[in-house]
Amino acid sequence: MTPFLKNLNAISRGTTLFREEKLKEYGLTGGQVKYLFAVCNRGGVSQDELAKSMFVNKSNVARQMSALEEGGFVRREQSAEDKRVYKVYPTRKALDLMPVIRAVNDEWKLVLCRGLTDEDTERLSAVLEKMVANIRGEEGQ
């Protein structure tokens, strides 16, 4: 693995572990946070849409939604238009927890960006956005 990919993987894994530690008292795993964030930001999103937007398998989304539903963080409703489709909505419990999750994310960003200037951070953010756009372009082909 190239140092570039190794570093991206380390950041991703570090993010999950940091969230895990900070949010375990709320009954969330580090890996569930990104799913909960997506549902809270896009209530009524289908599991298929979540899979596409998050670059994960549909089975991963289904497993995570089951766990989040068991924890009382989301509710799933079968689509009236297509019975094969489930729409996911955040519960009050999830919405009330979002400020805590945002604070954890802000804290992690401070850890990651320690020693970087605002200009460094802005430039890095722009490059990462381009990389994600590249992934989306590949997905469409």
10-residue mean pLDDT series, the chain (141 residues): 93 96 95 94 91 92 96 93 90 98 97 97 95 80 42
Q: Quick one: which H or E segment has residue 113? A: none
Whole-model pTM: value is 0.85
The CA distances from residue 125 to 67, 92, 116, 122, in Å, are 31, 31, 12, 5
For the stretch 77-97, pLDDT in tens is 988 888 888 899 999 999 999
Q: How many angstroms separate the CA atoms of 131 and 129, rounded? A: 5
- The whole-number pLDDT of residue 141 equals 42
| Per-residue pLDDT at 80 | 86
Mean pLDDT over each residue of the chain, to the nearest integer: 93
**Is the separation of the CB atoms in 105 and 36 below 8 Å?**
no
pLDDT at 139: 56
The pLDDT of residue 94: 97
* Alpha carbon distance 95, 74 (integer Å): 10
* pLDDT for the residue 121: 96
Report all structural domains of the chain as residue ranges with CATH numbers, in order of start: 3-139 (1.10.10.10)
Q: Which pLDDT belongs to residue 130?
A: 95
How far is the C-alpha of 79 from the C-alpha of 85, rounded, in Å? 5
